[in-house]
Each structure stands twice: as structure tokens, then as C-alpha cells.
Chains A and B, each alone.
Chain A
């Protein structure tokens, strides 16, 4: 009884940010139970134990046409316990059965929200028992498999890492949920003025998260992190039935400086106007030739083609006779090879917090494995120099460079970019690129060139649509669909077209970059590992920024989309009459 009351008063005093490590019940419970875990020497000896806890307090709301669809608050503490038995050289991970566990689950997928030391330890105790049993079983099965198959390459299973101590007690700013509910409601009402838009949702999520990590190497991390984003997503339909989509997402890491109302309104208006224009635009024709990726679209294509391929994949050990369809990175095995024009460099730098006065979304101090990241030169003078690395050894890697940003498979984490800077030594003014495009078309006798100003990345499509797009690529690499595509005629006139898809575009296409602008566009997004970073597809996200110039790329292929189009509805849309006396009139 007394214990329960104590927990209650702690909570009401808002105990998320305690000033000292010993006063943080969660951190104390993690450390104490981790210390006890070393006594697990029953069958195999654990050589490494890691406890990570993602603590979250998130509010969100969604609205359409001035009416609230939902409004939620969720609080959680999700533990991730890893036990490694064996040694850094050979352990229970990197095996197809690493994550498999058939034993008793103890209802410890979530930890208590209250700062109750005893309850937290009880949960961690049972979670460790499960992880240990799973590790022992996987290790014995892996060794059995290795008796009959030989691993593709002999790599160690885990890179050691120096201990890191980062205990940040800075409290996160409060989020006014009522204010943001009202704001998304108001923003969503802007679409009442656009009758061609037949569906629209505006939603926000504000997350006050704290990442905890302790491991048996001595690392201790408490890292508060705020993220907020507002998404604006909408669809319209062309007279022939083609469905058109556009979306815009505004992000911030600083909860005290949320996206500003005028920027949000501008973004919503732009989405509505894009969709209205697209509904009336003609369908494009197949095209092969130079394409100018302007501003946002250039950053998006770098995020997709480079960002997602700057990792090296490792195949897990498998019992004989089994195969696993793992798609290797397109840059696998190409270290030292030229992948961009020699006047281009690419650097990934999570240590930078802002760029030309603008906050960078991809900044972090310690990655998911407790490693402090450093800036990494990935491409120098067009040549691939390095990959984004985690503590999972891959060919050529000696240590992690602190890019473990998403959960991965078989005991590893997945790497992702942070702040990716794409630099061109021979940049020209943006207008100059347009002139070069016209010039190229003239020389090659083409009636027009193509400008792409926006890609559907991260995608706002449905899963069904994503499956169709991946199917159309026939299992090969695919890039997201372009949203804003323009024909540029020799006289400088531009014409918006719709229904276009890229074909045969992959990381090799970047070798055909003919020129770049001398300015740069900053593009923030949330990587979740899903195809086209599909919005809402992953439980975990890594915040990323790409800073890149506009680029002119030769030999790009565009086709008309092949998907079946639904006929327009028999019933015309209902009138967009605002609710009298409702929030719109306030």
C-alpha cells in the first residue's frame, strides 16, 4: 500500500527528468539487473548484455475538412534486451534463427510507466531470462548448422565498442495537445475550398521520447529527444479516373519551436493546388533523355538512391538447403569505385545541429548501440569511400561508425543516414541548368525536356499501391513515383503532366549526372526501412536530412503508368459546405 502511494506521488511530481542517475528509477533498475545478469552462467556464458528502453509520451490528432478524426495520447516504455553468448568472434547472432523464441513469454513487452524500481527490475529480470534462453538455443543451433555449412565469409559476429557515458537530464518541453488539435482541424478545413480534392487528412504527432541504454561494456546513455511532425496528405481524381496523390510533411526536433502556422498553411495550400492542377493535367508520354531534378526532388532522389544503398548487408548463417531472399545493397562490393561524377562529394554528418541557420533534422549524439557517431566521407571525388556501419561486422569494416539507427534482423541493427551533404564542386546557377536542358533537347532533336520537382518519397501511397509499384519493377530496384513532372519546351514554357513512372532507375543512374546547381535544398524525412519509406509503415523511425543541389541527369527513362484506372464514381461528390456554427466560423 505504501509503495503504491509513493509511486503515485512520484508520478504526479512529473518524474521523467530526475537530476541524478541514482534518482532515476529506470536507469537504476537497468544497471542493477544488468549487473546480476552476469551470473547467468548456467549453460553458456553471456559475454555481452544490453538493455535499451524507448520511453515515449506521444500525442497525436488527425482531422479532415475541419472535423477531428481522432486524437490520442500514448505513453510507453518498451524494453529491448539483448544477450549474446559465445564471444565477439562467434555468438548467437547473424544466424537465421537468432530472433526465434518459442518458450514462455512473460508479458514483458512493455515496462511499467511508473518509476517503481521494484516493478521495473522484476520485468527486466524476466525479459533477461527470455533473452538468455533464446540466445542459448540460437547459439547451439547455429553451431550445429556451421558443422555442415561453411559461412560465406569468416567475419566476427560483433565489433567491440568503447564505453560511452551520456546522461542528459534536460527536461523536454511540454506539448499543448489541445492547441495542436485545433490547429490540424483548422488546417484540414483549408481543403473545403478545393472541390477537386476528394480526400484529405491533416495529422500531427508530437513525441517526447527518452532513450535509455546500458550495456555490460560500461555504456550508460540517457538521451531525451523530441520530435514533432505535421503531415498533410490528399488525393484528387482526373476525369479519366486516375487517382492522384500529394503530401507534405513538416518536421522539427525542437518541441519549443514547432512548425509555424503560416508555413503549415502554405504547405496545405500547395498540396491542394498541386492536386487541382494535376487533375486537369494531360497524361505524359514515354520519355528517354535528360531530366532535371530541381530542389526537393534532387534531395529526394539522393535519399532514395544513395541513402538507402550506402549500407553493406550481411547474410546470416543458415541451415543447409535453405535460402533467404535478402536484397543486397546496390553498392555492395563497390568501395573504391566511381559512383558519381568526379566533381561530387558526399558526407554524412550527424554531429552538425544546423546548416546556414536552419536546424538539421538528422542530428544525434549516440546511436542505438551506444556508439558516438563521427562525420563520415562516403564519396570523395565521385569515388565510394565508406559505408554506413553498425557494430555488425561486414566485409571491410573494422568498427562501427555509429550509424545503427533502426532495428535490424538476426541480432543486428540497421544503418541509416543522418545529415547527408551532397556537394558539387562545379555548381552553376539553377537557371543555367534549365538552359542546359533546353540546349540538350535542341541538340538531340527532342520536342521537350523533363523537369521533376517532387517525388513521392516518403510515400503517402497505400500498401496495395506500393505492392503494385514493386511488382511493376519486377523485383529489381524501384524508385518512388514522381509527383510533379513538367515538360520544358525550347521556348521556356512549362507544362505539368501526370501518370509518369521511372523505369530502370538505380544507383548507377547517378553516374550520368551532367551538372549540378550552386545552391542547395534541405529536405527532412523519416526513414523507416519500408519500401519508399512508406509513411506510417514502421514502428521505428530515424530522422534524416539530405542537403543537395539540383541535378541534371542524362539517360533517364520515364513511362506512362501501367496500372488499371478506376472509372470515376457514378455519384458526383457531395457539396463541400462548412458546418454552420462549427469550428470554421469561430
Chain B
């Protein structure tokens, strides 16, 4: 609540010009009603549901390297996603068939000006195209059902939800491009100057996103939010050819909330110090043993190995691994852990969260969802596609323009009842190293991301890509940085090995890519102590560092 009040105050204080979303909504609604009415009358099979979602993005991004601007791009566009459902909610053209990815929409560009004739002509043709595809697939599904065995989960294809009317003014703030260009240039010069840095870049971007949704159920939504991002990246190459990359990303809802000069300079100093240390560090050896994952590393770990497996649609797709499809009500995590997904949360300890939204892309109001309570699985992340035992959406149907909605993560909060101070967690790690008789343990400080496979055909596994990994020695020697380690493992085994957590939380903001496109998400977690984690050597480049020395001014 405080978060909301704070933002409103910021908006009022800023030089914004308001234009409301009513114009576009009205045009879309008129065309929606006309198409639906006529298709209901003449279509065979007729649609029972029609919706238009428009994503409007206005933004700017720029990149600099070595003090020079490398690219600058301004974007303003609107993209239309049409959803046509023919048949009935019990069985429609969206029915999941094993291994088939449904794709009707095409993110058709729409005019960025509210001119009814121009918008309506495009919407009309796109509705026609989508309707034809919907009919074709529906007929195919009906035939297939007669020749194939029944699916394990015969849930409906579309849930019934309350229509929502919510119209916010559309933000038209100007982005302070000039002042950011200057800053980004300056920071990139500073980053590039550091010894050992082969290539480096600083990028900045700010965007206002507005989503419009009209449905034949009566939903009329226009809502939006801002995104801003500052990212610093430096690369080096070790003498053995290994490519080393370090980066730091800052995400906020508005560029004014990104870090200032002092904080960025500290980041540059830290990045280059770490990069220099990595260049000197020995390559990692394959190892299995106890470890601590920092809060940010733990956040990525949970996003990959847990988050993707409780996305609702995976529970009824028979090509999916369905790790937890029948685990509701049973213990799947240590009982001191609970997991909540809360898209309504704007911030955590002052940091903006990337996975914040008010309504999902099917117009369902966002709400906090406790997925795991004291280790017990309670529910899944739900879109309007029901699964056995869960007939309603909980506001997690999401997509990027051009993709069909599936259930996706928002802001994941990993809560622990077994918290100890960081110092104690470290002592526990050393006790565990001794207990297991291992030479050392591991500390994962920074990760850049990860990936996971959930499909039945693939190996049920995950990979988290850490960039700063230390060996922790039980004899009190200082921690030793190693390079080129990947965390690997299988999900279920990993959960059982969580022993304790720290008492402080860290935020990882990022973009998650899956079936419905790349979406902003966040994960918040405490540091984890695990009894065993496995690392493998990263695949490494074989080519040498550059043959010629770096050019200098004297060579001119």
C-alpha cells in the first residue's frame, strides 16, 4: 500500500502529460462487438469468446563502450494479439495436444495514433485470419479425439472469470535521453579503462509499457508500468582461452530510481576487481560437496528448478515431465520453506521488482499466491487454462506480444522459518565440510542466469551459470576464487539437500524466456546452505587471446 502511494506521488511531481487510453479501448471494443456479433451469426463453428490485447511500448535504449556511444534506439509501437475461441469452454481450439505448441496470434503492428478507420481495418483482417486458424485447429482436434485415447487430465480449456473494468491514464513521460547518454558514455569510459578488460559496455534503457484488453465477456482494461534498466558488462579472456564475463544489471520501474554516479562507480570498481581476480583464478574442478548459495544465486536456483515446474499448464501437457502434477498436499520442500508468488508487490526492501503487475494478460486481477506452505505444495501458477483440481486462474496468465498466454512466474518470494545470521550459516558450512570429510566447500556469490528442461523427452535437469564461485576451506584459509564452473543437478534431489537459510534476503530481477516469450520476473530468496551441490567444468573457448597488443595512442 505504501508503495502505491509513493509511486503516485512520484508521478504527480513529474512533468507528465496525460492522455487516456479510452480512445484506443473504444475503437477496439467497437470492432470486437461487430466481429463477434457477425461471427456468432454466420460462423460454423462459431466463436464463444473473442479478445483483443494491444501492447504499446514507448522507449529508448542506448549502449556505449570506451566512452563512445555505440547505438541508440527509440521505439514506439503497438502490437495486437487476437484470441478467438471456438467450440465451448469444455473443448476449444486451445486444447493442449502432446508436443504441440499452439500459435494463432502474430503480434500485428497497429497504428500508434487513435485513428478508427486505420485501426479497425487491421483489427478486422487479423480477426479473420485468427478465426480461420482457430476453426481449422478445432476441427482437427475434434477428429483426433475420436481416434486417440483420452488424456489423463480432461480438464476444461477455459475457466470462467469475472469481467474487469479498469482504466488508468497512459503515461507519456519524456525520457531524459541526453543526460543519460552523457552518464553512460562517462561510465563506459571508466569501465573500459580498467586493465584486463578486453571489451566492455554500458547500456541503459527506459520504457513505458501500456496494455489494453477488451473481451467479449465485458472486460475493458488499460494499465501500464515503466521499466528502466542499467547494465554494465566487462569481458576478459584468460591465457588458456577461457572467456570471462561479468555483469551487473539494475532494474527499476523508472529511470530516476536507477543508481546514481557514486553507486555505479563502486559497481565498476567491484566488477573490474572481480574480473582481475578471475583472470588469476585457477579453473574449477568437477566437485560435489556442501555449499552456500548467496541470496541472488538461490533466487535463480529456485526460479529454475522450482518455479518452472509449478506453472499450471505443464501439469496437463503429457509431453511434460509433470514433476509435481500429483503432489498437491504433499511435502515437496523442507518444511521450513514457503514460497509465495506476489505480482502485486512493487518493491522489496526498497528495490523495485520486475514481476509486478496489476492484471495478467487474460485480464485476471493479480493476487499473492502461496504455492508452498511449510514445505507442502498447495497450488500451481494458474492462467485461465484449468488443470485437475484447479478450475480458476490465479492471475498468472502472461505473454509477450506475438505469443499465446500460458502460466508464468511473477515475483517469487522464498520465505524461511529456519533463518540464521550469515556468519552462523558459514560456520554451519564448515561443520558440514568436516562432517562429510570434504577438502573444501563452495560459495556461489554471483550468477548470470540459468536454464531448465521440463519436457518428458529431455533429461529433467537444470543448469545455473555462476560467475563468482569460491572454495571455502575448513582450516580458516581465505576463500579461493575459481573460474568456469556450472551448477548441474536434478531438481527433486536438490530440494532435499537444503539444510538452512540465512536471515537476509536478496533480489534477482531478470527476464525469463519460455513458451509465451520473454517476460520480466523477480525472485527474492535468502542464502541457502545445501549439503551437496554438483559443479561441472564450463565449455570453454579454444582460441587464444588477441595476437596483437591493444592499440595505444603512441602507435598513431
Q: Is A76 an interface residue, CB under 8 A from the partner?
A: yes
> Could you list 29 A-B pairs, sorted by A, with CB under 8 Å?
A7-B67, A65-B115, A65-B121, A66-B118, A67-B111, A67-B113, A67-B114, A68-B112, A69-B110, A71-B76, A72-B74, A104-B237, A104-B241, A104-B543, A106-B198, A106-B199, A111-B70, A118-B551, A120-B68, A199-B122, A569-B125, A570-B128, A570-B131, A571-B128, A572-B38, A573-B121, A574-B31, A577-B116, A582-B115
* Chain A residues with CB below 8 A from B112, complex form: 67-70
* Chain A residues with CB below 8 A from B68, complex form: 7, 112-114, 116, 119-120
CB-based nearest A residue for B70: A112
Provide the B204-226 mask, 1 if CB < 8 A to any CB of A, else 0. Answer: 00000000000000000000000
* Chain B residues with CB below 8 A from A122, complex form: 66, 192, 550-551
Q: Report A's interface with B, CB cutoff 8 A.
A: 1, 3-4, 7-8, 11, 28, 32-33, 36-37, 39-40, 42, 63-76, 103-104, 106-108, 110-114, 116-123, 125-126, 128-129, 132-133, 188, 192, 198-199, 566, 569-579, 582-583
Q: Are B117 and A66 in contact (CB under 8 A)?
A: yes
Provide the B433-457 mask, 1 if CB < 8 A to any CB of A, else 0. Answer: 0000000000000000000000000
Q: Are A110 and B71 in contact (CB under 8 A)?
A: yes
Q: How far is the CB of A279 from chain B (nearest CB, A)?
A: 15
Which of the candidate stretches B181-189, B358-366, B381-389 sits at the interface with the other chain? Answer: B181-189
Question: How many Å lie between the Cα of A110 and that of B125 in the bound state?
Answer: 38
Q: Are B550 and A4 in contact (CB under 8 A)?
A: no
Q: Is B476 an interface residue, CB under 8 A from the partner?
A: no
Provide the B104-147 mask, 1 if CB < 8 A to any CB of A, else 0. Answer: 00000111111111111111110110011000000000000000
Question: How many Å lie between the Cα of A167 and that of B348 in the bound state?
Answer: 58
CB-based nearest B residue for A40: B547
* Chain B residues with CB below 8 A from A28, complex form: 556
Q: Is B546 an interface residue, CB under 8 A from the partner?
A: yes
CB-based nearest B residue for A28: B556
Contacts known (A74-B73, A579-B117); A574 close to B235, Cβ less than 8 A: no
Provide the B25-51 mask, 1 if CB < 8 A to any CB of A, else 0. Answer: 000000100110011001100000000
Contact partner, A4, options B38, B118, B122, B189, Cβ 8 Å: B189
Question: How many Å lie between the Cα of A126 and that of B550 in the bound state?
Answer: 9
Q: Are B551 and A199 in contact (CB under 8 A)?
A: no
Q: Are B67 and A570 in contact (CB under 8 A)?
A: no
Q: Is B69 an interface residue, CB under 8 A from the partner?
A: yes
Q: Are B555 and A36 in contact (CB under 8 A)?
A: yes
* Chain A residues with CB below 8 A from B109, complex form: 69-70
Q: Is B542 an interface residue, CB under 8 A from the partner?
A: yes
* Chain A residues with CB below 8 A from B185, complex form: 4, 7-8, 114
Q: Are B542 and A64 in contact (CB under 8 A)?
A: no
Question: How many Å lie between the Cα of A253 and that of B327 in the bound state?
Answer: 68
Given A32-B556, A126-B546, 14 more contacts at CB 8 Å?
Answer: A36-B548, A36-B551, A36-B555, A69-B112, A104-B541, A106-B235, A112-B65, A113-B70, A114-B68, A117-B556, A122-B66, A122-B550, A129-B547, A133-B543
Q: How far is the CB of B353 from chain A (nearest CB, A)?
A: 30
B window 94-112: CB within 8 A of A: 109-112
Q: Is B553 an interface residue, CB under 8 A from the partner?
A: yes
Interface centre among B128, B192, B241 (most CB of A within 10 A): B128
Q: How far is the CB of B52 from chain A (nearest CB, A)?
A: 13
Q: Is B77 an interface residue, CB under 8 A from the partner?
A: yes
Question: How many Å lie between the Cα of A228 and that of B115 in the bound state?
Answer: 27
Question: How many Å lie between the Cα of A56 and that of B122 in the bound state?
Answer: 32
Q: Are B31 and A132 in contact (CB under 8 A)?
A: no
Q: Is B72 an interface residue, CB under 8 A from the partner?
A: yes
Q: Are A198 and B121 in contact (CB under 8 A)?
A: yes
Q: Are A574 and B121 in contact (CB under 8 A)?
A: yes
Q: Are B542 and A67 in contact (CB under 8 A)?
A: no
Q: Are A571 and B118 in contact (CB under 8 A)?
A: no
Q: How far is the CB of A268 from chain B (nearest CB, A)?
A: 15
* Chain A residues with CB below 8 A from B43, complex form: 570
* Chain B residues with CB below 8 A from A68, complex form: 111-113
Question: How many Å lie between the Cα of A75 and that of B122 in the bound state?
Answer: 30
Q: Are A121 and B551 in contact (CB under 8 A)?
A: yes
Q: Is B532 an interface residue, CB under 8 A from the partner?
A: no
Question: How many Å lie between the Cα of A132 and that of B547 in the bound state?
Answer: 9
Q: How far is the CB of A351 from chain B (nearest CB, A)?
A: 36
Question: How many Å lie between the Cα of A8 and that of B75 in the bound state?
Answer: 23
Q: Are A574 and B118 in contact (CB under 8 A)?
A: no
Q: Are B76 and A70 in contact (CB under 8 A)?
A: yes
Q: Are A576 and B67 in contact (CB under 8 A)?
A: no
CB-based nearest A residue for B549: A125
Q: Are B66 and A112 in contact (CB under 8 A)?
A: yes
Q: Are B542 and A66 in contact (CB under 8 A)?
A: no
Q: How far is the CB of A256 from chain B (nearest CB, A)?
A: 26
Question: How many Å lie between the Cα of A133 and that of B66 in the bound state?
Answer: 24
Q: Is B243 an interface residue, CB under 8 A from the partner?
A: yes
* Chain A residues with CB below 8 A from B122, complex form: 64, 199
Q: How far is the CB of B485 from chain A (nearest CB, A)?
A: 19
Question: How many Å lie between the Cα of A114 and that of B132 in the bound state?
Answer: 50
Q: Which 3 A-B residue pairings sit nearest by Cβ, starting from the closest?
A: A112-B68, A67-B115, A67-B111
CB-based nearest B residue for A132: B547
Contact partner, B117, options A42, A65, A112, Cβ 8 Å: A65
Question: How many Å lie between the Cα of A64 and that of B112 in the bound state?
Answer: 10
Q: How far is the CB of A1 from chain B (nearest CB, A)?
A: 7
* Chain B residues with CB below 8 A from A114, complex form: 67-69, 185
